[in-house]
Amino acid sequence: MRKVRWLILSAVSLAAGAVQAQGSQSAAPAVTSATQAPVLRTSPGLRMHRLPDDNIPAFMEADTIEGDPDSDLTLSGNAQVRRIDGVIKGDRINYRKDTGEVEVQGSARMMRDGTLVTGPNAKFNVDKYSGEIEKPNFWMGAAGGFAVAEHADIFSKSQMRLHTVTYSGCSCETPSWYIKANTVDIDFDENEGVARNGVLYFKDVPILASPYMTFPVKKERKSGFLMPTYGTTSQGGFDLSLPYYLNLAPNYDMTIQPRYFSKRGLQMGGEFRYLGSSYGGIVNGTYLPDDHVTGEDRWMYWWRHQQMFSHGFYTDWDIAKVSDDDYFRDISQLGLNQASTTYLPQRARVGWASPSYWSAYAQVYKFQTLQDPDAPLVPPYDKVPELYLRGARYDWGGFDVDWTSTAVRFSIPTVGGVRQGQQGDRLQSYPTVSYPIVKPGWFVVPKVGVNYTQYQTNWYGRDWLGLNANTPEAGTSAGYRQSQSRTVPIMSLDTGLIFERDTSLFGKASTQTLEPRLYYLYVPYRDQSKMPVYDTSLADFSFSQAFEENIYTGGWDRIANANQLTAALTSRWLDANTGFERLSLSVAQRLYFADQKVTLPGETPRENVRSDFLVGASAALTDTLTTEVAAQYNPYDSNWSRGLVSARWSPQRLTTVAVSYRYQRDPQPGVAYQPQGQNQVSLALQWPFSKRWYGVGRVDYSLRSGPSSTIANTTESPRVTQAIAGLEYKGDCCWVGRVVYQRYAVSATDANSAVFFQLELTGLGSLGTDPMNLLNRSIPGYSRITPPVPAGTTFERYE
């Protein structure tokens, strides 16, 4: 039988409009014209369309169409009605224009915005957007849910009620989890579903029941309770939190999080996020009154904000503070080792950046230092304030010009009422000019600059630099000037060559490079022994630092004299087809033509004419095995100053083993500006025991022993600084179970332990504490055993 197709203009609104989500679309909208016969116009692609308020054209198709389009129509045999906002299909469709009644008999199918509803029969009033469906099945559009009900009442274009409902976000034929409820009210405009007398089943076992629960019906934010989190830690005991999310507006929201510690009491916390066209930020904080262990109020807040103004002006701040030094050691987020937090920033800045060459800012930068009684720290200097100005122009007649200036007032807090250092002002200006010559296969970059620094210092009568030791003025600031300046010219020449040749590596065609590089630096000596030291420390010697202008980092309170040449050689093997780097070898050494005369207080000047050797190698030996070696070797005492050896093997997805060894020699005795030595072995892995069981783990073991190099009258012994062990079970469909144990050091002598439990239900959420952040951060190459579900769209299930 020949199919019949009609295109009519009417106010008919499809019954599927009752199952509305965010917008509407169609791949074949219909148009008419007073002077042109109605035709179908194809759409170039799936996209959102703006619906007219009324007179939406409808396209009808069936084996037979009978009746008058102005009164009654009957479509029989493979009947369907299409509009820009949806589709109705059925064995037979009856439509009465005078009452707006539409009746679908047999195999009713309605689709709108990716939501598909099927049932044996359906009745609608298209003028009122109301009706009913018997025994409907729902596929909930982009939300990805599936529901079966005994009956559905449709009240309006966006509101409906389902009776005796079973819902699941699991796509399996036999879902591992589902929710049963007596009734479910859905409001698509408000993005809210309300289930009454709902029960969550897992493996046909009820695990959670509630007389009233709400949930979002679209992939949009919605106010309501989030999944509770629970676990246990040695510092806080049993830990339970029940967050409540407030979707206040499209551009800001808030989460309120009451949290109960069995050892410490009830804590209230919250997080507020906001975002505008020119600003954004986040505020979070907690308050724990009368800690059961300490008897004190414990609190924390952190506020980060960024904002842009017109004409290049901006402002930002990062302000954090806690009630006491032990806050993060006693109270931290589950799965996060915040106990290592030492300095909390309190910074506010106002700046300006021109579209051409200039930028500037003014900021106040302070710190809260969290002291460990077993490892006391000297707090850093506060900058109250710091002024910054920079002008830079590149390729200006072939020259690169840069001029950076800063003015800082330094203030150091007292510890126990005792002042920790001198205070004062520093003005620094550093203009530079370079002329880069870069050609294929080689480059030469000559550069010259002049660094000028002016100090105004209050020494408080103390010998902070230790210059008057063993003299009659010992302990005093005799000979220290309040006002002093320094002018240091700095000249450098950076040159390099790049050679290439075709070769092979492991039997594969490759391109090998040979890249020699020479860097000459000359800085004349200036006596800086009586200048203050505010924010300067000795930089770690590395491949990048070997080509820097100063061996000190920070604010350059010391500029080392130099007459030296750095020589480096790098060779790489690149895959000839993909360009992937298979192997890289590097070596560098610095040659000194003058003795070191400028030092930090307590630093022993270098006397050698050659620096340590820097060697490095990285290799992707196979597509699954990568290795890296980096070392610093002292040729004079035949000792290693620093070393790193690491390897990572990932033979397949969900399988990775990473092992590393890190070593760093202890700094000179009494030197506080260098980091403490390190001697640590780390092992991390993710390994499948079967198709369903997976193990995860990490161990960091410190090999250090003997007296501490930075803490007086304390000793160290080998110990585990962090340990993670966990099991993951991948269910047959739509669920994962996890248990993870973590132990980590919270101070020089104490450690914290925590256990996490989690049941992850795909399409619903997670019960318990989410250890994903911990595993992603701690285990290189970790992958979720269940890939994330791709986000749905309103164009799904288009018919």
Q: Give pLDDT, residue 145.
A: 73
Do 272 and 281 meet the contact criterion of CB atoms below 8 Å apart? Answer: no
Find the Cα–Cα–Cα–Cα dihedral 587, 593, 598, 599, rounded to 10°: 40
- 402 confidence band (pLDDT: 50, 70, 90): very high
Does residue 772 fall inside a structural domain? no
Buried residues in 423-432 as b, exposed as e (16+ CB within 10 A): bbebebbbeb
Does residue 167 fall inside a structural domain? yes
Q: How far apart are CA 462 and CA 421, in angstroms?
A: 8
Whether residue 540 has pLDDT greater than 80: yes
Q: 6 lies in which domain range?
A: 1-112+121-126
Following DSSP, what letter does each residue of 554-587 receive, concatenated? ES-S----EEEEEEEEEEEEEETTT--EEEEEEE
Q: Give pLDDT, residue 706.
A: 53
Q: How far is CA 357 from the centre of its chain?
A: 31
- 11 confidence band (pLDDT: 50, 70, 90): very low
Say if residue 207 is in the same domain as residue 322. Answer: no
Q: Give pLDDT, residue 754.
A: 81
Say if residue 265 is in the same domain as residue 378. Answer: yes
Q: Give pLDDT, residue 621.
A: 79
Whether residue 54 has pLDDT greater than 60: no
Which residue would you say has higher pLDDT here, 660 or 419? 660
Say if residue 9 is in the same domain as residue 27. Answer: yes
Of the candidates 152, 151, 150, 97, the residue with the CA atom closest to the CA atom of residue 125: 97
Dump pLDDT digits (tens) for 58-95.
Answer: 788 889 988 887 778 888 888 888 877 778 888 998 88
In percent, the amount of the chain with pLDDT more than 70 equals 84
Say if residue 14 is in the same domain as residue 89. Answer: yes
Last-in-domain residue among 94, 126, 158: 126
Dump pLDDT digits (tens) for 318-370.
Answer: 999 999 988 888 887 654 555 567 889 899 999 999 988 999 999 999 999 88
Does residue 10 fall inside a structural domain? yes
Angle at 414 between CA 410 and CA 415, to 5 degrees: 140
Does residue 692 fall inside a structural domain? no
Q: How far apart are CA 213 and CA 174, in angstroms?
A: 24
How many domains is the chain built from?
A: 3
Say if residue 294 is in the same domain as residue 334. Answer: yes
Q: CATH number, domain at 89?
A: 2.60.450
Does residue 268 fall inside a structural domain? yes
Last-in-domain residue among 203, 222, 241: 222
Say if residue 72 is in the same domain as residue 167. Answer: no
Total Cβ atoms within 10 A of residue 289: 12
- 32 confidence band (pLDDT: 50, 70, 90): very low
Do 726 and 739 meet the contact criterion of CB atoms below 8 Å apart? Answer: yes
Q: Give pLDDT, residue 774.
A: 73
Say if residue 273 is in the same domain as residue 354. Answer: yes
Last-in-domain residue among 201, 222, 243: 222
Say if residue 186 is in the same domain as residue 239. Answer: no
Say if residue 230 is in the same domain as residue 369. Answer: yes
Say if residue 389 is in the same domain as residue 346. Answer: yes
Say if residue 340 is in the same domain as residue 314. Answer: yes
Q: How far apart are CA 121 and CA 99, in angstroms?
A: 19
Dump pLDDT digits (tens) for 474-506.
Answer: 888 888 999 999 999 999 999 999 999 999 988
Does residue 356 fall inside a structural domain? yes
- 729 confidence band (pLDDT: 50, 70, 90): very high
Q: 371: exposed, middle or buried (C-beta count within 10 Å: 0-12, 13-18, 19+)?
A: middle
Does residue 739 fall inside a structural domain? no
Of the candidates 611, 604, 605, the residue with the CA atom closest to the CA atom of residue 541: 611
- 635 confidence band (pLDDT: 50, 70, 90): confident
Which residue would you say has higher pLDDT here, 753 or 698? 698
Q: How far apart are CA 542 and CA 590, in angstroms?
A: 11
pLDDT-wise least confident of 86-90, 275-279, 373-377, 768-772: 768-772
Does residue 504 fall inside a structural domain? no
Say if residue 262 is in the same domain as residue 373. Answer: yes
